[in-house]
Amino acid sequence: MKYSAFLLIAVLMFGILTTSCEKEETVANNGVPVVNYIRSTDPAKSDSLIVGAFMGSLIAIVGENLGDTRELWFNDQKATLNPSYITNKTILVNVPSTVPTVVTNKMRFVFRDGSELLHDFSVNVPGPLLSSIKSEYVPDGGTAILNGDFFFEPIKVIFPGDIEAEVVSLEKTKLEVIVPSGAGIGNITVQTNFGKSNSGFVFRDDRNILLDFDTKIHETWTARIANMADNPSPTPVAGNYAYFQNDNFGAWQWVNEMTMQYWAPRGRGKIPVATGNINDLVFKFEANVPIEWREVRMEIFLAPYAEDHGRDVAGTAIARWRPWQNGPYKTDGWETVSIPLTEFKYGKDDPADDEIGSRKIENLSSLTNVTMMLFGPADGTNPVFVAIDNVRIVPK
């Protein structure tokens, strides 16, 4: 199908760009090859001359004495030529789809007699796009997984502190790198021959940390703390972490170890969990789920200053974290979870299958407490192990 479309376009363009091709091909090629101009084969753009094109684009080269062309290179990539689409005055060719390693911004013709012709022409390759990281917290020497697009060799990944990382795996949309020793807090930069991209996220984000389970802790009679000094499993991502564990969790009842409650009166005092517009903020934490998690939802909510978890306070807006909705959920190590504050939209009595919700956060500045708790399914039992760390509310 693609070949047929190519052939149709080629025939149309030859009709537009040449006259009496049969007669032309009988003329001896005794002159010096010249490129007069290049245009797109797109009929809507056929009146526009171009000096560059994206990889894979079909272009028409118009000139004189081009019939003896045997090779055509774009930068260091050789194009595939079809003799049927080469005449003295025109060449139809697809720009190579392989990313150039050496960028010259030149088109190089090689003719039958070995002579060559250079012509200025750019292959448009997008610069890298760094969109996300699997976990914003990775220790020195650990593997960071970066997601985005247009990751091409040669490539550099620079961590905060202007330290280059070792790239261990490269795909067009995914990078795996070893976090270099001494990496700091800040943005990551990915750079190729075609541009660079700075991360929108903050590596090891230390803004507005509410709970780190090292110095900023919750009520210790709720979710248990894994002490890094004891070498717990899973391996910590940034010091101690809290975890919810129950080998046979069923219909909900009050289980201290399946809640994580931070009460400001016993913590940092009457300080709001965050300030600003809820449309611009996200609730983030790192999570590690080493066994399959299903059916049991986690509820997360913020509450006013009081020694009470606040779920029953009028107007409390709850977020439901249910990563297993499309199938059992299990992580491969630590992952950063991001929940927009606009998803804090459920009341305590909203139906389990409600996707709209009946609440929203009305006054963020009045909220000082944080609760995360799990609810079992109406029937059946499930094992649960969910580890969390670095609870924070930060800008998107």
Q: How confident is the model at residue 278 (pLDDT cuts 50, 70, 90)?
A: very high
- At residue 91, the pLDDT reads 98
Residue 311, both tokens? 């779920």
pLDDT of residue 313: 87
**Two domains, one topology: 2-124 and 209-395:** no
- pLDDT of residue 268 exceeding 60, the answer is yes
Q: Could you tell me the two tokens for 227? A: 């002490």
5: phi then psi, degrees, rounded to nearest 5: -65, -40
State the residue for tokens 């944080």: 370
Q: What is the pLDDT of residues 221-252, one digit of tens each?
A: 999 999 999 999 999 999 999 999 988 876 66
Q: Taking the C-alpha atoms of 230, 232, 237 and 240 in order, what is their torsion angle to the nearest 10 degrees?
A: -50
pLDDT tens digit string along 281-309? 999 999 999 999 988 889 999 999 988 87
The predicted structure's pLDDT at residue 380: 64
Res 30: pLDDT: 59
Q: Give pLDDT tens digits for 4-38.
A: 344 444 444 444 444 333 334 434 445 899 999 99
Q: For residue 192, is pLDDT > 50?
A: yes
From residue 225, give the alpha-carbon distance in Å to each of 166, 271, 388: 33, 24, 10
Name residue 176's beta-bridge partners: 145, 169
CATH 2.60.40.10: does it fit domain 2-124?
yes
- Report pLDDT for 296: 87
Which residue from 302, 290, 324, 310 is spatially nearest to 392, judged by alpha carbons?
A: 302
Question: pLDDT grade, residue 3 (50/70/90)?
Answer: very low
pLDDT tens-digit map of 332-342: 999 999 999 99
Shortest CA distance to 292 belongs to which of 212, 385, 177? 385
Q: Report d(CA 50, CA 89) in Å as an integer.
A: 17
pLDDT class for 378, splitting at 50, 70, 90?
low
DSSP bridge pairs for 287: 335, 388
pLDDT of 80 above 60: yes
Q: Please, what's the b/e burial string for 194-214 (b: 16 or more CB within 10 A of its CB; e: otherwise)?
A: beebebebbbbbeeebbbbbb
Round the average pLDDT of the chain to a whole number and report it.
90
Q: The domain 129-198: what is its CATH number?
A: 2.60.40.10
Reported as a single tens digit per residue, the pLDDT across 134-169 is 999 999 999 999 999 999 999 999 999 999 999 999
- What is the predicted pLDDT for the residue at 383? 87
pLDDT recorded at residue 27: 41
Give the confidence band of 46 by pLDDT, cuts at 50, 70, 90. Answer: low
Residues pairing with 273 in the sheet: none
Whether the predicted model's global pTM rises above the 0.95 cut: no
Q: Where are the domains of the chain?
A: 2-124, 129-198, 209-395
Please give the Cα distance from 262 to 22 (Å, whole number): 84
CATH architecture of the domain covering 209-395: Sandwich (2.60)
Helix (H) or strand (E) holding 3: helix 2-17
Return the minimum-mean-pLDDT range out of 16-20, 64-68, 202-206, 358-362: 16-20
**Could you tell me which residues are beta bridge partners of residue 198?**
189
Burial of 9 (0-12, 13-18, 19+ CB in 10 A): middle
pLDDT tens-digit series, residues 215-228: 999 999 999 999 99
Predicted confidence at residue 249, as pLDDT, reads: 78
Structure confidence by residue, pLDDT tens digits, 163-180: 999 999 999 999 999 999
Q: What is the pLDDT of residue 352?
A: 87
For residues 80 and 71, the answer to whether their CB atoms sit within 8 Å is no
